[in-house]
Structure 1
């Protein structure tokens, strides 16, 4: 039988506490514990470490206010920051609701409690907890593997990572394709780190960042006196990468007149420095990257077809962030934790509205845009949770409007089930164990979500 997740209900009313305990216990997901005050709640927290807490703000000795409930909230999150606290209270004062959220509450739900809806909120909170816990585990393991710097849980991105792993031992030229901001440079560096050339140099050059008249000398170097200002012999990037890997970023921006010289190098593995009289043999692996439609550029005469086929012995496509199911939220939490730690800021997580906005936004700038927005928000945020306003995600920017609770829950469940099946080679029993549910429950969920193995 699958192990249930622990949930704590903190409620001062004896009758309501008992009612919620029995109503929520009728579930194959949660093991319910109860407490009637802050002291008992913290005793249970330390002993059982529940992942979900349903907290009444009106606790003794302030049953008609919110001071004791808010103090309990702070103590819970100080003890165990990843805990998802859902505020369920008859105190509907908006100021207390906002204060609870700013202190780190996951959600606010006014009484009278609808058990079915509360159960859905608890399950959604549990999914987020599991994602954050998994992301934290990934962060701890990142340094142990060359691909550790790439945060990926979606089948789409995992497929690209597996392709990099398979290509690493060989010496074929690889063209990494993808939109700007998808992490093509990270993939290229991972390819080098996993290859037999890992102990050699990794030399990167951005073909779009260097003026056309300087790019040739940057790539191939020059001899002393080759041109005005050439006061000493200078080794180019290609030669610097000898016995290692040369990464040509934005290869589509290489000038046409320089492409012929690059083609000669790829064919013969020799270069001529500008002003030089002898050929120099160079042993490098070439990895290039572009966000441009190379076939169109070839058709328009802007890129040599023969050079393209030399560069594209094998290509790897990096999916856009909008195509990476489930990765937006995981990456957002990773960046939040990173910048909160590096910048010494007290930010702990996201509001439910911010998570919905992150999930719905198209992210045209991909991972780079997500990283920049999170960093800005962490620096400027006033509370402990980032809101959609902190992220500067206006309603008009969210592609499908604000999603319903049902939409968010179904999308989270679909992504988690797909990830669990992918990690366990479509073994339903193993996936059910990973998700913490029984096999019949997972089969039922797969049927509801129209997932077939």
Structure 2
């Protein structure tokens, strides 16, 4: 993916820069390593050959990566920027993403994850997003970064994997990414959504069903909880037989309840969950909600809102506070509706949430205001800790059980 790509590396640390240079050249990239902002500015503005991507440290000896990027944006459209930052610079990196930067990684990072994210940047930038315009990544939050690591790990394995998450959390995108990053990427990727199939057995085991066409590729079964007892038994038989492919399944967050009710066998669950990838709901990842809206806006605005120039800060605040029961699908639907209905140059909260206009004079009670404030703090803590309830409780200085009770009361699902 990186062979013959022209990469500019802006990094003043000798050890970090040397390590990245060596690995990128091993991947076949042509790398220009610069250690100062002023030299990078000239090299990127007037390159000797087209630049496919810029890898840039935020801290530089004569300025910052943010200053470099902002200066370039004022005079043109820079190449895709992948920023490198420490934990303390995440807020700055997120601000850069909103300004048009492509992505960022935090130190220390896994080299395979770093190379994957860079490869996504240098791939055809004009290629439409797969799956109704959704970007291939899940976001920029710590929770999303953790999922990226699990995806990379799962791609290097061959046993079954189980993706768990609520509606609109991108389970299908995660399955596809695992396949694309694996050694099976040249083989078929066959997806079966049992929530849309009238006959699960026919869709999976029929003469032209999924098992007949997947070969050595990846079979993705979404809504696996919709399988009846007979289909579950046949699936276990196929997995015990000479199945040359790789199985990835997906379900919601209620699988334990279904097992307790006898609707899913524990044997099937343990066979599927050899690798498990939980996707926290979007309402616990507000930074990802903002990031996803920005990504979708760039794709959809030209087609559905040519007069819309951007998204207002008030609209971002409303997106950050919304519960998103429908996940990313709901966000896309609201954005589409907002683009077609907006009357000003910037999207406003009422464009995405017109139902809030029903009673504009309504004032929250003190109880409602207190619950809203608590919810915002809990979401922020869960976001910072990647959905880890114990760590979030420590940040909030309350007991884990207390946090869990508040999450249930406020309608926040666990990871």
Please indicate the TM-score interval, normalised by the length of the shorter structure.
0.5 to 0.7
Q: How does 1:45-444 map to 2 (within 5 A)?
A: 130-136=96-102, 142=120, 144=122, 149-211=136-198, 214-221=199-206, 234-269=207-242, 282-343=243-304, 345-392=306-353, 394=356
Q: CA deviation at 1:389?
A: 0.7
Q: Which residue of 2 is the match for residue 21 of structure 1? A: none
Q: Which has the larger Rg? A: 1
Q: Hey, what's the Cα distance between the residues in 1 that align with 2:259 and 2:196? A: 22
Q: Hey, what's the Cα distance between the residues in 2 that align with 1:397 and 1:317? A: 37
Please give the TM-score of this superposition, normalised by the length of structure 2: 0.58
Q: Classify the secondary structure of the residue corresponding to 2:244.
A: coil
Q: Hey, what's the Cα distance between the residues in 2 that align with 1:237 and 1:338? A: 32
Structure 2: gaps (5+ residues): 1-35, 38-62, 65-69, 79-90, 105-116, 124-129, 387-415
* Equivalent pairs, count: 281
Higher relative contact order (CA 8 A, sep 6+): 1
User: Judging changes above 3 Å, is the alpha-carbon distance between structure 1 residues 372 and 140 closer, same or farther for their aligned structure 2 residues?
Assistant: farther
Deviation beyond 6 Å, 4+ runs, structure 1: 47-51, 79-82, 125-128, 138-141, 145-148, 395-399, 401-404, 413-419
Structure 1: gaps (5+ residues): 4-27, 30-46, 52-78, 83-124, 222-233, 270-281, 420-453
Please give the TM-score of this superposition, normalised by the length of structure 1: 0.53
User: Judging changes above 3 Å, is the alpha-carbon distance between structure 1 residues 376 and 415 closer, same or farther for their aligned structure 2 residues?
Assistant: same
User: Judging changes above 3 Å, is the alpha-carbon distance between structure 1 residues 126 and 304 closer, same or farther for their aligned structure 2 residues?
Assistant: closer
Q: Hey, what's the Cα distance between the residues in 2 that align with 1:339 and 1:400? A: 34
Q: Classify the secondary structure of the residue corresponding to 1:288.
A: strand
CA deviation vs aligned residue, 1:258-299 (integer Å, no higher than 9, x gap): 111111111123xxxxxxxxxxxx411000000142121111
Q: CA deviation at 1:373?
A: 0.7
User: Judging changes above 3 Å, is the alpha-carbon distance between structure 1 residues 415 and 302 closer, same or farther for their aligned structure 2 residues?
Assistant: closer
Q: Classify the secondary structure of the residue corresponding to 2:196.
A: coil
User: Judging changes above 3 Å, is the alpha-carbon distance between structure 1 residues 150 and 126 closer, same or farther for their aligned structure 2 residues?
Assistant: closer
Maintained 8 Å contact 2:222/2:250? yes
Q: Hey, what's the Cα distance between the residues in 2 that align with 1:251 and 1:287? A: 10
Q: Classify the secondary structure of the residue corresponding to 1:208.
A: helix
